[in-house]
Structure 1
């Protein structure tokens, strides 16, 4: 028999218990946090850091085969070698201008919602992105006001893909002593004053993925081969995307009320430099055997959402324990070895990402590391040593104003009626539009400990083409110090900046993640919000 909490969770997610089943893929462990994104930035260092879950085969140039042939997964079903990733979250202390990683609570959940007719499993090689990294504005009405009734969306001309994408992002204020907010209730990230007062159990970031499909494995934008149905998580698919995939829904809880943030002023910011929340996004690469997943779609239709209620998973198990999930980690390539994206204190976001508050779209970071530089990371793997970065923002952010919200949810949908919450008095989010000034640096190792590097002389292999030093790297192994000098052909005169990265010999200890399993299960495992 289903308990009341399960029924509440189903109502919030817009499920009819009698008609549609689903399961919550528990990924209690994170495989790591690093500037890697094999979908958007294939074989390159990504512009910002991602919190990653799933297959240990995740890397800068991961393919379907890499994922499925990996040694482990940080999710509970061992057959799920998929990769799930979103931007990491940080706290910017306004007094010190330093960034501190916000800890996750219990990993993440990936809901597999079986909505629509003839639901199709993800085929081998399928991948997609949801959300817009550079978005810093909300264009579907007032972001402080609840969404209008779904029945009004078409009349308001709010069923375009851009509109639906903006409504597919949620920031849920968690207070287990109060009635739960509905999923996707709030489409912006609340400020610290609000979270301190209203969200003692943290913020749950939510993301609904498109479920309508045109049959292609990917697209140039990594988004246009899929589309949202006209009610985001439910409704009708456009004629251009007639096939129905599993509806994917991500939940990640961040401990915004952790002890290290209490009594401090500042702002929470995503790793892509976003304090508004409008730029929240996520990526998914399937790592399932398609036949196994299709059997799960056809048979795992229990309305509890529990993995243990799916005979296919348990008969081919056992399900992985939380300890086993937490042990699974990806290998950090050496090109990122000097960067610790979860260092206790940082003077810049990983990669030197600047905060951009909009309302205009954010601009991409300059100077991405391309395939030439990252080649060493694909040749030599290994876990990265612990280092910190060394850039200091020049401006202090202003927190977002507080708002008052209601926990009343609309039955049968993940959206709240317009009368459920008061309209805020200040619609500008109260954040500075001045971007912090940063100075790039790839290592925090003391300059006095770095070996002196002499640029190699130019050499030519064809008329008019010169080769200059592109990057240098020092590797210490068994007492032997080797310097690798990367060179690139150039035609025009350019000013080169050389960076030497020292790789310490001993591997670091594994990061210990705080265990909030009881709290997370209270919210994730049973409520299903």
Structure 2
């Protein structure tokens, strides 16, 4: 039997542990861009798309619909060997009176977080688009924002979070895209989408994905003068969107859902740069 003082000490330790906030587990993948192409095998399979995209991950991606096995059969540009998924976003351009140039992607991170018992690994056929390239500014404003933000590391410009900057700021420009966690397979779309409500038939929970992208506009050439501006290939900042096709090794897809270790802490952009040195072309 424990002595009374020891039992009190153990009870005190137990209470302290219960009072500690739960660990928010997450896993991060860093990928390099490897091509730009006017295709989108989710939105317009087999056809030329209406705007340019920058691609990351499996090099097995093309204009046609693709399976997880086909993605895993190709090499990839991510730092986790078990991840042969395909990720893509609309290309960001800087437009001046003399030239229109794609802006260099310095860092592309994909965060996976929210590991818990009620989340399921991605199905083998999992694919999804987050964001709406056809959204108008008025619609974005009426919605009170779209859950994403554009901004330089150092800037005093006042604007809507979803608007692209019109003035040069300090550091790198960051954009982000969050993905839904409650999803359902929509046969009419040929991919998954966010559930209309939690009771929708076939709805299930997956890890939350979050794209964090840093663009390098530090060169003096990007002065935002004489009418120069930023635009996405899909339009204004409110049209930012991300596409994902699952290419994870099945065993690792299971592990990143069930393992509650905090693989990587979310840090400031400077910390992210130290983790992923060197700029990469978009």
TM-score (norm 1): 0.43
Query: 1:118 maps to what in 2?
Result: 118
Query: 1:82 maps to what in 2?
Result: 85
Q: Secondary structure at the match of 1:260?
A: coil
Query: 1:131 maps to what in 2?
Result: 131
Normalized per residue, the structure richer in strand is 2
Query: 2:47 maps to what in 1?
Result: 44
Match of 2:162 among 155, 173, 187: 187
1:173 correspondence with 2:176: no
1:260 correspondence with 2:221: yes
Shift of 1:220: 2.9
Shift of 1:519: 7.0
Query: 2:24 maps to what in 1?
Result: 20
Shift of 1:522: 4.5
Conserved in 1, the CA contact under 8 Å of 2:129 and 2:193? no
Shift of 1:242: 4.0
Query: 2:247 maps to what in 1?
Result: 287
Shift of 1:169: 2.3
Q: Residues 518 and 99 of structure 1: is their aligned pair in 2 closer, same or farther, counting only changes over 3 Å?
A: same
Query: 2:100 maps to what in 1?
Result: 99
Shift of 1:189: 1.6
Shift of 1:140: 6.0
Q: Secondary structure at the match of 2:180?
A: coil
Gaps of 5+ in 2: 1-19, 278-282
In structure 1, C-alpha distance between the alignment counterparts of 2:124 and 2:191, rounded to whole Å: 17
In structure 2, C-alpha distance between the alignment counterparts of 1:222 and 1:305, rounded to whole Å: 33
Conserved in 1, the CA contact under 8 Å of 2:117 and 2:258? no
Match of 1:278 among 208, 218, 238: 238
1:205 correspondence with 2:175: yes
TM-score (norm 2): 0.78
In structure 2, C-alpha distance between the alignment counterparts of 1:112 and 1:17, rounded to whole Å: 20
Higher-RCO chain (CA-CA 8 Å, sequence separation at least 6):
2
Larger Rg: 1
Q: Secondary structure at the match of 1:206?
A: strand
In structure 1, C-alpha distance between the alignment counterparts of 2:141 and 2:100, rounded to whole Å: 32
Q: Secondary structure at the match of 1:34?
A: strand
Gaps of 5+ in 1: 1-15, 143-162, 179-184, 229-236, 307-516
Q: Secondary structure at the match of 2:46?
A: coil
Conserved in 2, the CA contact under 8 Å of 1:211 and 1:226? yes
Shift of 1:120: 0.8
- For these two proteins, the number of residue pairs brought into alignment is 249
Query: 1:238 maps to what in 2?
Result: 198
Deviations 1:339-397 (A, max 9, x none): xxxxxxxxxxxxxxxxxxxxxxxxxxxxxxxxxxxxxxxxxxxxxxxxxxxxxxxxxxx
Q: Secondary structure at the match of 2:48?
A: coil
In structure 1, C-alpha distance between the alignment counterparts of 2:271 and 2:219, rounded to whole Å: 13
Deviations 1:80-124 (A, max 9, x none): 00000000111111x33x311111113x00110125651111111
